[in-house]
Amino acid sequence: MGFLTPLFLVAGLAAVVPLVLHLLSRDVGPVVSFPMVRFLRPTTVEQARKRRPTDWLLLALRMLALLLLALAFGRPFVEDPEALAKTRGAVVAIDTSASMKAPSTWAEARTRALAAIDAVPSQEAVAVIAYDDAVHVLQPLSADRASARAQVEALVPRAGHGTIDAAVRGALDVLASREGRITIVSDLQRSSVPTAFDVPEGVSVSLVAVPPAAANLAVASLDGDATSIRATISNAGGDPRTVAVSVSHDDREIGRPMLTIAPRASATATVETPQPRTGVLRVAVEDPGGLPDDDARVRVLDPAPAIAVFVVTAPDRARDALFVEAALGAVDPSVPFAVETVTADRVDAAAIDRLRQRDGVLVLMSTRGMPAERRRTLAAWMQGREGRTLVAVGPEIEAGALSEMFGSATTLRVREADAVPLPTALVAADVRHPIIAALGDERSGLDAARVTRVVRLAGIESGVVMRFANGLPALVDTPVGDGRIVVFASDLSMQWNDLPRQPVMVGLTASLIRELARRDEVVEAIGDATGDLQRPRVVSGARGRVAVNADPAESQIDVAAPAEVEAAIVRSGKQLGIPPAAIARDTERAQSWWRVAILVMALVLVIESVVGAVRRAPVTGGA
């Protein structure tokens, strides 16, 4: 048994001191006011009787309560025989990248992983992680071997690409400053081995190499034009391969050329037919002994869907949308825009539903005349995950209404700008911002715009993309709730500036709308939806169909020797290990014996109160 703060035990011993003093001292009471002092005779202290405890049970109960209090403050704990073991851990990291899907590879990997778990000394905790595109902690450090084995038994390889250094970082996170060992079960695909990676002192890395696929054919690319469709097939094996390349369009085979590929080389199969404008093109080869995911590749030929743009104008100024519409109509038609103009007073539930269904971008040029209920509905959309809004704060925008729509989702507020030098021009403030970067050389045209009136944007935390030449923020890109807004501190309808008349208006408007329409998370969501288990495949999303193919890096079966991996380890010298005090603290916190001591003390005090009440003699007065 140990104590976190043993000094309090000394305080517990001090509880005995009053008893000793009590026994040694004479019973001298307090001063008594007494008028008949003239009849008293002074006596010496020695004549006063010595104190003697009159109730040993009460004394014992009170001393026990004090000792329990001292014990509780001492923070007792029972030393865990496994505590030392908890200072070390073993992590078994299993490669679940696509290359592990080779028929013989995965079975061997599972066997080796189970063996690695069994090899961990019984006094050490063991954890199991899997790694591919990400690190998955299947079991944190635990003494439960059966659970660890069960996790491995249920594990299947995925389709991502994993690296050794990512696995080591994940394992170190699981070890959480403990010393220990990391056992990596992998095919040691060369593309997964970094040139160098840090491993702290106190942590050993063991490599359990499982044999990769002996040979592998992979569809490396798929391309086409108006005359032909071309598929590049790579052969990672050591023998030449002759294979039939199946090219199909919407599940209908349109060609099956034969192709012979030299060892560790690639060859292109061509089908002399124009590439269709729509549908799904698929190329597949037969590769029974190789990796399954790269045996086919798909390509979605559907044209990019138009970006829906909803422009909200003032009720009597629907023509204000013409500048935006004209600018978007002038850009590359390969990425078309579908512009719909709605006046503020006609923004109804149906319009908002269309905006939502078409995953559109809102260009808010006016709030005038918009019913409060519609404003609230629109604000809810703006602040939601789908919300993508460009606000041109011109004369038709009511600052109060806009603040109400922003609510507490952003600190950004619109205020009247006064005492600023006007007219002014536009200047790029963040040239790396995608909106400005997409402008390229065109951004020099911003300087040509003449702005005669602006609003002041207050409460900006970050995201100033453009400024006026007088220093005021002109374009601010900021989140609002879960949504995103870009606020232009002037109008886009030729009232306060001549920007719509400038050539840069085309590129700037398109850049703004495309940036707002960009949905990185859609692709990520598709990747998650597939579970990375079935590749290649075609997934339908809000912006149309998306092709999901295997990572080409996983098609390479060239492997590194364990010695090469070990040579890449760089010892950082970082001190590991959990201090004994921390172990004691954790153990004490987990056991919390002090609570028991406090509870028992409370119980003792209750008993003391009862005993005291029963035995208390009636008070007769006097000293």
Partner 1 sequence: MVVPVATATSGHGFLDPGDLARLASLELRARVVVEGALQGLHRSPFRGYSVEFAEYRPYLPGDDPSTIDWRIYARSDRYYVKRFELDTNLPCHLVVDASGSMAFGTGAVTKFAYATWLAAAFAYLLVQQRDAVGVIAFQTDVIAHVPPSTRRGQWNTLLAALTNLSAASTTSFQRPLQRVAEAMTRRGLVIVFSDLLDDDEEVVRGLRLLRARGSEVVVFHILDHAEVTLPYARASRFRDPESGRELLVSPGVIRDEYQRAVELWCETHRQRLREAGVDYIRVDTSAPLESAVLAWLAHRGRSIG
List residues binding partner 1 (CB under 8 A).
26-45, 47-49, 620-623
Q: How far is the CB of 30 from partner 1 (least distance, A)?
A: 6
Q: How far is the CB of 38 from partner 1 (least distance, A)?
A: 8
Between 30 and 81, whose beta carbon lies closer to partner 1? 30
Query: To which residue do tokens 């081995």 refer?
Result: 193
Q: How far is the CB of 6 from partner 1 (least distance, A)?
A: 39
- Tell me the CB-side half-sphere exposure of residue 557, using CA atoms within 13 A: 26
The DSSP string of 34-87 is -GGGGG-----GGGSPBP--S-HHHHHHHHHHHHHHHHHHT-EEPPPTTHHHHT
> Residue 578's closest CA among 586, 570, 590?
586
Q: How far is the CB of 580 from partner 1 (least distance, A)?
A: 53
> Residue 386's closest CA among 539, 476, 546, 521?
521
Q: How far is the CB of 53 from partner 1 (least distance, A)?
A: 15
Between 462 and 620, whose beta carbon lies closer to partner 1? 620
Between 39 and 154, whose beta carbon lies closer to partner 1? 39
Between 43 and 408, whose beta carbon lies closer to partner 1? 43
Q: How far is the CB of 58 from partner 1 (least distance, A)?
A: 19
Between 38 and 432, whose beta carbon lies closer to partner 1? 38
Q: In what order do the strands lie in the sheet with 246-249?
A: 252-255, 246-249, 280-284, 296-300
Residue 344 burial (C-beta neighbours within 10 Å; 0-12, 13-18, 19+): buried
SS3 483: strand
Enumerate residues 6+ apart whose C-beta is below 8 A from 589. none
Backbone φ, ψ for residue 170 (5° rounding): -65, -40
Dist. CA 456–CA 396, nearest whole Å: 15
Q: How far is the CB of 52 from partner 1 (least distance, A)?
A: 13
Dist. CA 484–CA 480, nearest whole Å: 5
Q: How far is the CB of 15 from partner 1 (least distance, A)?
A: 24
> Residue 292's closest CA among 94, 107, 554?
554
Between 27 and 558, whose beta carbon lies closer to partner 1? 27
Between 46 and 251, whose beta carbon lies closer to partner 1? 46
Between 18 and 371, whose beta carbon lies closer to partner 1? 18
Between 30 and 288, whose beta carbon lies closer to partner 1? 30
Q: How far is the CB of 619 from partner 1 (least distance, A)?
A: 11
Between 43 and 122, whose beta carbon lies closer to partner 1? 43
Enumerate residues 6+ apart whose C-beta is below 8 A from 193. 163, 164, 560, 564, 565, 568
Q: Position 407: which residue type? A: G
Return the beta strands (E) in 210-358 as ranges.
Answer: 217-224, 229-235, 241-244, 246-249, 252-255, 258-261, 265-271, 280-284, 296-300, 307-313, 337-343
Q: Which residues pair with 205 in a beta bridge?
A: 182
Between 26 and 256, whose beta carbon lies closer to partner 1? 26
> Residue 97's closest CA among 140, 139, 135?
135
SS3 148: helix
The DSSP string of 215-256 is --EEEEEEEE-SS-EEEEEEE-SSS-EEEE-EEEETTEEEE-
Between 42 and 333, whose beta carbon lies closer to partner 1? 42
Q: How far is the CB of 43 from partner 1 (least distance, A)?
A: 4
320 and 365 in contact (C-beta within 8 Å)? yes
Q: How far is the CB of 24 from partner 1 (least distance, A)?
A: 15
Between 48 and 349, whose beta carbon lies closer to partner 1? 48
Between 41 and 277, whose beta carbon lies closer to partner 1? 41
Between 36 and 590, whose beta carbon lies closer to partner 1? 36
Dist. CA 366–CA 393, nearest whole Å: 8
Q: How far is the CB of 604 from partner 1 (least distance, A)?
A: 28
In angstroms, the first-to-last Cα distance of the chain is 47
Q: How far is the CB of 63 from partner 1 (least distance, A)?
A: 23
Q: How far is the CB of 39 from partner 1 (least distance, A)?
A: 5
> Residue 211's closest CA among 612, 559, 615, 508?
559
How many residues are present in the chain? Answer: 623
158 and 97 in contact (C-beta within 8 Å)? yes
List the Cα angle 503/505/507 in 5-degree steps: 90
SS3 25: coil
Q: How far is the CB of 620 from partner 1 (least distance, A)?
A: 7
Q: Which residues pair with 456 in a beta bridge?
A: 415
